Structures are given as structure tokens and as C-alpha cells.
């Protein structure tokens, strides 16, 4: 039911998450974001970090949500491997669980600069699931 993948973009990487709800699709998209940097299976979901996002529509909210984790990864020097989202009017409250970046164990490949509005799409699709996707700049 839930899952994530990367999709092709010439210079950068597309992240795509899906699930039974909009919140699940966001959670999975954030996992896809982690996977741009390192294999999420190597990241222990130990320490919770909360984020709050506000945006006027589901697509801008996805970009905000991913940018929140790009900021947390960058300033806390952490990686995250589990996410939870609660949608609210005008935004969301989320939590990510992760641990301190350990280059020897996580083998981080590349740093993400920001989530973009390219190939940005959030919605319920023909398979009945919610999908959330956009390209991230690396």
C-alpha cells in the first residue's frame, strides 16, 4: 500500500511517495528524500524531531515538508528513517525519527540543496492511492 521510489531527472533526482492517504504519501516521499542521501535501512529511527509546515495547497505543502527535512538534516547533521504526518488546516505537524550522521556507516552520497516545483504533483490517482512527487536539487 505504501512505498517510495526515485524517478529520473537529468541533473537531479525525483522523489515519489505513495500511500492510502495524503499524510502517508508525504511520509513516504520523505523516505525517498533520505534515500537520495543514504540507504534508509542503515539509519536507526532513534531520536524524534518535530517539524511544522504551512502552505496554501497540497503541492506547496509537500515542498515545504521536504524542505523542512533538508533543513533538519543540514543543521542537526542527522538522517531520518521514519516519518509521521498529521494534516491540519493550512498545513501539517510532522515527526521524523533518526540519528546523527555517521559517514562510516551511512556512506552519504550527496547533499540535497532544496525541493523544487519541478514535476511537482500531489493527489489521489487512478490506483486509488495518494501520490506525492517532485524533483529535488542536489
Partner 1 sequence: MNLAGLNKVSDYVWRIEPQGAMRVPAVLYADEALLRDMDDKVAEQLRNVASLPGIVGAAYAMPDAHWGYGFPIGGVAAFDPAEGGVISAGGVGFDISCGVRTLYTGLRKPDIEAVKTRLADHLFKTIPAGLGSTGHLSLSIREMNAMLREGARWAVEQGYGTGADLERTEEHGCMAGAEPGRVSVHAKDRQKHEMGTLGSGNHYLEIQHVSAVYDAAIARAYGLEEGDVVVSLHCGSRGLGHQIGTEFLKAMVLAAPGHGLTLPDRELACAPLDSDLGRDYLGAMRAGINCALANRQILTHLTREAFAEILPEARLDLLYDVSHNTCKEEEHRVDGRPRRLFVHRKGATRAFGPGHPALPRPLRDAGQPVIIGGSMGTGSYILAGSGRDLAFASACHGAGRRMSRNQATRIWQGRAVVDELAGRGILIRSPSLRGVAEEAPGAYKDVAAVVDAAEAAGLARKVVRLEPMVCIKG
**Nearest-approach distance from CB 119 to partner 1, in angstroms:** 10
Q: How far apart are CA 118 and CA 105, in angstroms?
A: 32
Is 113 one of the binding residues for partner 1 (CB under 8 A)? yes
* Nearest CB to partner 1, comparing residues 24 and 135: 135
**Nearest-approach distance from CB 128 to partner 1, in angstroms:** 27
Phi, psi for residue 32 in degrees, rounded to 5 = -60, -35
**Nearest-approach distance from CB 37 to partner 1, in angstroms:** 7
Q: Interaction with partner 1 in 50-109: which residues (CB under 8 A)?
A: 55-56, 60, 63-64, 67, 70-71, 74-75, 77, 101, 103, 107-109
Q: Which of 31, 37, 51, 85 binds partner 1 (CB under 8 A)?
A: 37
Other beta carbons within 10 Å of 85 = 25
Q: How far apart are CA 72 and CA 8, in angstroms?
A: 25
Q: Which three cell numbers stand for residue 80?
A: 531520518
67 half-sphere exposure, CB direction, 13 A CA radius: 13
Q: 27 CB contacts (<8 Å, ≥6 apart)?
A: 2, 17, 19, 83, 84, 85, 94
Q: What is the DSSP letter of 40?
A: G
Which residues contribute to the site for partner 1 (CB under 8 A)?
Answer: 6, 8-13, 37, 55-56, 60, 63-64, 67, 70-71, 74-75, 77, 101, 103, 107-111, 113-118, 120, 137-138
Amino acid at each position: 500500500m505504501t512505498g517510495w521510489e526515485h524517478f529520473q531527472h537529468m541533473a537531479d533526482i525525483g522523489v515519489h511517495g505513495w500511500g492510502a492517504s495524503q499524510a502517508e504519501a508525504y511520509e513516504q516521499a520523505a523516505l525517498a528524500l533520505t534515500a537520495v542521501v543514504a540507504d534508509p535501512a542503515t539509519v536507526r529511527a532513534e531520536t524524534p524531531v518535530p517539524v511544522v509546515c504551512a502552505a496554501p495547497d497540497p503541492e506547496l505543502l509537500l515542498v515545504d515538508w521536504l524542505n523542512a527535512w533538508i533543513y533538519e538534516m543540514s543543521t542537526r547533521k542527522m538522517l531520518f528513517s521514519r516519518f509521521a504526518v498529521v494534516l491540519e488546516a493550512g498545513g501539517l505537524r510532522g515527526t521524523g525519527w533518526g540519528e546523527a550522521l555517521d559517514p562510516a556507516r551511512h556512506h552519504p552520497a550527496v547533499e540535497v540543496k532544496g525541493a523544487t516545483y519541478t514535476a511537482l504533483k500531489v493527489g489521489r490517482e487512478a490506483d486509488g492511492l495518494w501520490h506525492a512527487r517532485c524533483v529535488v536539487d542536489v
